Chains A and B, each alone.
Chain A
């Protein structure tokens, strides 16, 4: 019954206790700069949870999550810019003046409303994901074709946002750190501390939500889609619908993550929609362990922390490390760290190192006595 032992709750509980302890202790221990970084990484963890939902459970590898991430960020930034632009000419954000734009473009108008913005942050990415996803899924385009198309879509959105100065400030992006919210500077340490707490809460909320989605028969259907989609059709389920829904959920989560990331990094720009960044997101989940939600969170935070540390010390080497990580996790650690732990990895490692000896029994002997032996 080693399977049971391995999947027992205590390691997972322990991980959770550690995560929560770290989050609670962080504001007291970390300097503001580091705390802000951690807050950003936690917002990335929300994106990673969405990727785990679509890739880890449903088998859809999206290389375009940056689209939804950036859209969430832009929605938040547009509201903040409007909220703080009364002092500028024409009462519109300052950058418009650089391009001689006198009137606010129509699509900016609704972002005057905070309520609209709060909804738009997740709804716009979710709806876009649903539309894009449905166009692809209903033609039964799947596997790598889906990945390639999402990547192409990402490039398209990048081009669009990068090229439209007069609409969205093009390649410069929208700054948020000097904008006002609740009468305070968004970039101020107090506000940043508040965002950190809020992000931490949102990570837990997102985890609870995704876990609820993957539990029960809905989650079983997702796994069945990953295992054998055509077979599922013959059982009367319509995979297109399920895939569209989870892709939309992942898009919405990416949007929320993007908004939180934007207010903590102080800017949103087309750089959030570059091809490498979106693939990087996938590796967070892969390293943590796909199909294990905790793994997605841990992976996102750990890899980004490693990235910032390595980049500070030896900026040249991070791409080598990251590239190696991609190769390593795919060839040697396909289930990620959490999956490796659950599938007896630590014990195997100890055995291989000669520290403990493997006890070999026939599988049948490890079962309860009441088994009927079947051929």
Chain B
């Protein structure tokens, strides 16, 4: 019984990281049909954001509230990854709608650039750049329209960008002078120290549940619920779904499809940022941290069925649980008297990486029976 609980908990823990990482991808792929291979790097940006936030909270001024840094990191990571995602959508992906294979290659290019970027640009400078982008994009939205369309529109816009550049430079300079660790570029992995309340584990029915895992599970549940509510209840959620189902019709109804694209992609990317916070709590953060998640994310989407969040949820927990079941050799513990050849096989696959081999084989097997995943889209629209 205890074994079952342990296995179940591990499965849910693995699955929730996977789900957190795949959630944004499932939205972007499911709703927009865009394959974003840079999704892993957006996760990485979220993780680095957490790292920088944590270092800031170590400064004397913030020391008393150090334990709360995760709460700040989550929205900040959302914004950072979201803004980079929006930039990506506006500059590259927008030109490639309807060409998924081309999008795939272009976003791979972006992911290479982002990886090298965090290697060769100091994090302080990167933070300044991101701030400049955020300010530059959001100022025109905040300012009154009369200023932006008045006779001095050009001047105002130039002022906006000047302000954003200035704030970026100030932040970069400030961070670099205060925190020497991020003043220079490094390609080495960095470690995020968890806040005190997150260390250790929770004792429950003979089981030790590591707190970071629990936090990630909670984060995942909140994110999934939030996304579901947003898509199904809010005005913009309805618009997003409308554009997914019939783009030209939505256009005719006056839905700003361009804005919807930006919003959808921004949310998907932002969720990748939150996933980055989760990832940073589990291990060290490096330029390649995203790459190790991306294939798993795609497996979740393929297995769950495109455009179905519930499918993604089920698929990630199924994959998570199977990984634990196979990777920890649980069958052997359950049934110690297993005949030797079978036991040898179970043993052979009882490592994390070999479990991945087995899980993939099972997924391919599953797709033989359900080629469109757990919850296929139905009806006349599928062929298109």
Contacts and interface: CB of A to CB of B under 8 A. Distances in A.
A325 B116 contact: no
B116 A316 contact: yes
B356 A159 contact: yes
A151 interface: yes
Interface stretch (B44-52, B54-62, B98-106, B265-273): B98-106
A326 B360 CA distance: 28
A326 B109 contact: yes
Interface size class of A (residues with CB under 8 A): 35 or more
- Which secondary structure characterizes the binding site on chain B? helix
A230 B115 CA distance: 39
Contacts of A322: 109, 112
Contacts of B368: 135, 139
Nearest to A283: B105
Contact of A159 (B96, B101, B102, B354): B354
B106 A326 contact: yes
Interface stretch (A4-12, A32-40, A141-149, A295-303): A141-149
A46 B287 CA distance: 32
A276 B37 CA distance: 11
A327 B356 contact: no
A17 interface: no
Interface stretch (B131-139, B210-218, B226-234, B295-303): B295-303
B101 A331 contact: no
A144 B356 contact: no
Contact of A331 (B96, B111, B115): B96
Interface string B270-299: 000000000000000000000100010011
A135 B302 contact: no
A105 interface: no
Given A319-B113, A319-B116, A323-B113, A330 B102 contact: yes
A155 B295 CA distance: 8
Contacts of B101: 61, 143-144, 147
Contacts of B102: 330, 334
A323 B109 contact: yes
Listed residue (A136, A152, A230, A325) with the most chain B CB atoms within 10 angstroms of its CB: A152
A148 B354 contact: no
A153 interface: yes
B259 interface: no
Nearest to B106: A330
Interface in B292-321: 295, 298-299, 302
B129 to A, nearest CB: 15
Interface string A130-167: 00000110011101110111011101100110110000
B25 to A, nearest CB: 11
B360 A152 contact: yes
Contact of B109 (A149, A153, A327): A327
Contacts of A147: 35, 101, 104
Nearest to A63: B104
Contact of A286 (B105, B112, B353): B105
B351 interface: yes
B92 interface: yes
A282 interface: yes
Interface in B355-376: 356-357, 360-361, 363-364, 367-368, 371
CB-based closest 7 A-B pairs: A326-B109, A323-B112, A323-B113, A139-B371, A319-B116, A159-B353, A323-B109
Interface of A: 61, 135-136, 139-141, 143-145, 147-149, 151-153, 155-156, 159-160, 162-163, 230, 275-276, 279, 282-283, 286, 316, 319-320, 322-327, 329-331, 334
Given A148-B302, A331-B96, 4 more contacts: A139-B368, A143-B101, A148-B35, A320-B113
Interface of B: 35, 92, 95-96, 100-106, 108-113, 115-116, 119-120, 291, 295, 298-299, 302, 351, 353-354, 356-357, 360-361, 363-364, 367-368, 371, 383
18 contacts: A61-B104, A136-B367, A141-B371, A148-B295, A148-B299, A155-B295, A155-B356, A156-B360, A163-B353, A163-B354, A275-B291, A283-B105, A322-B109, A323-B111, A324-B109, A326-B110, A330-B106, A331-B96
